[in-house]
Chains A and B, each alone.
Chain A
């Protein structure tokens, strides 16, 4: 606890004339659930995309600290970032729709499989043994997320809520040290949200995975996060514990408009 795992420092990203991120800095401590909130278009997803290597920011650095090494993520290819143990989910589900739940999760094991093409083609010996080991990890995740029934179903055929769970599961299959969750509860009803919040807490507590969570539902954010960073128009306007942030006039203004902020202060 308390060790810095992800340090974002002065990151700026623009697309043509649009500044998606302006000099964004934040620090995620190991073992925390760190929420990133902000109105639509604030740059939350852009921040995750920079972290997972899908976007290259024009300025700034994103350092990922592990026990034995520190990696600069802004100069690392996305597949390498994944291999470092940074997993993520997407806002608009990006599952492999034509593969089964099991295959989707097994793909999460991709970086951890170590056998040659020839052995894979032959499908015997070490390749098979290894496959079974990975299968065990995957089955554990299936149990954790309660998706046993859907194991062999093609993902495209499943309901939205279940797909969101499968996407979380696929990220977990990487056995990540850092989990980036982009609105895992968007579009869910209260019950589904509660389930998802429970899964995220389980993952955080049982497996000790640090989570960066983008979420719009303030009740959920206040309930489960240790720290909150607030973005607005690409800039950080608040950072602290949920209580500190929810009391901040700048945050209230961004969310509710300036009148509410004045009233709040008065």
Chain B
């Protein structure tokens, strides 16, 4: 009993780590630019495939592969921001959403074109093997995945609270005209939000490649971003951590104790409940808009 619980918990948290990293990119972009990015899952795919290409196709050391993947993701994110979304500033949010949905289809098609639809086997990067924990057999790479996500999310939190650019990003989120008159370049902050979202997508992609494998299904993580960020609060970094962990655990517990495919539905049940009870999420900003 205990061993099953421990096993489910670790796997749930490891999946939650991926959810949290995907959600982090989403929250970063939403928080500072107000764009709801439906292509976040595809950024995760791009990260995973770029890493795969670096390590498996070009035979690079994994650290170089990471750098390559980060470079690809950051350049892509910057291009998307500059070419697709900056011209959309001031357009209705539905129009902006449609652009990101189109981007999502486009990225999927490009990845399909480059890599085909067969699942790829990623050479192991994280340590393999397993350890015994309270009677449960736990794969080490899951624990490492949780640790990596914790460190990355921790760094982002410190960055937001402490660094000049982090505080500038919060300022832009709060009040754009005021940020401008403080000498903060809003376009640069937007670009930075996208670039950082690209970085978090690569780290997420690494975990996906390790734990799930590289295939077209990676983009499906993009869908589960929504329950995570709605639960945590659309614009909260802390919310992505808690939301990721809660959804990850919930899915595993449901799979382990209830089963029957309910685990695939449960995140969206949470999404609907949260929207009914607390639409701004656990840590989100309470916005009352008067029209």
Contact = CB atoms under 8 A, between A and B. Distances in A.
Contacts of A77: 180, 185
B174 A123 contact: no
A106 B167 contact: yes
A99 B172 CA distance: 11
Contact of B182 (A97, A115, A123, A174): A174
B183 A79 contact: yes
Contact of B175 (A94, A106, A111, A174): A94
B162 A82 contact: no
Contacts of B135: none
Nearest to A78: B180
A164 interface: no
Interface in B129-183: 155, 158-159, 162-168, 170-171, 174-175, 177-183
Which residue, of B162, B171, B178, B186, has the highest number of chain A Cβ atoms within 10 A? B178
A121 B285 CA distance: 25
B170 A98 contact: yes
A54 B177 contact: yes
A96 interface: yes
B175 A110 contact: no
Nearest to B174: A96
Among A53, A79, A80, A95: residue with most chain B CB under 10 A = A79
B67 interface: no
B164 A113 contact: yes
A80 B162 CA distance: 24
A232 interface: no
B184 interface: yes
B30 to A, nearest CB: 15
Contact of A90 (B163, B177, B183): B177
Interface string A66-104: 000000000001111111000110100011111100010
A188 B154 CA distance: 43
Given A95-B175, A120-B163, A107 B181 contact: no
Contacts of B175: 94-97
A15 B192 CA distance: 33
A78 B181 contact: yes
Given A123-B162, A123-B163, A99 B171 contact: yes
A30 interface: no
A101 to B, nearest CB: 13
Most buried by A among B165, B178, B182: B182
Contacts of B162: 120, 123
Contacts of A113: 164
Task: Specify the main secondary structure of chain B where it touches its partner.
Answer: helix
B178 A90 contact: yes
> Which of B163, B165, B285 lies at the interface centre, i.e. has the most chain A CB atoms within 10 A of its CB?
B163
Contacts of B166: 120
A123 B162 CA distance: 8
B228 to A, nearest CB: 22
Interface string B181-205: 1111110000010000000000000
B274 to A, nearest CB: 22
A121 B186 CA distance: 20
B177 A82 contact: no
A120 B165 contact: yes
B185 A99 contact: no
B168 A79 contact: no
Nearest to B285: A98
Contacts of A97: 174-175
A153 B33 CA distance: 26
Contacts of B155: 121
Contacts of B168: 107, 110
Nearest to A83: B183
Contact of B163 (A52, A98, A121): A121
Contacts of B159: 120-121
A195 B168 CA distance: 30
A115 B165 CA distance: 10
Contacts of A111: 182-183
A120 B164 contact: yes
Given A107-B171, A120-B159, A174 B165 contact: no
A165 interface: no
A99 B186 CA distance: 18
A106 B168 CA distance: 10
Interface in B261-288: 285
Contacts of A82: 180-184
10 contacts: A78-B181, A88-B181, A94-B177, A110-B182, A115-B164, A120-B163, A121-B159, A121-B163, A127-B163, A174-B182
Interface of A: 52-54, 77-83, 87-88, 90, 94-99, 103, 106-108, 110-111, 113, 115, 117, 120-121, 123, 127, 170, 174
| A-B residue pairs, 8 tightest by C-beta | A82-B183, A111-B183, A120-B163, A94-B178, A78-B180, A96-B174, A79-B185, A83-B183
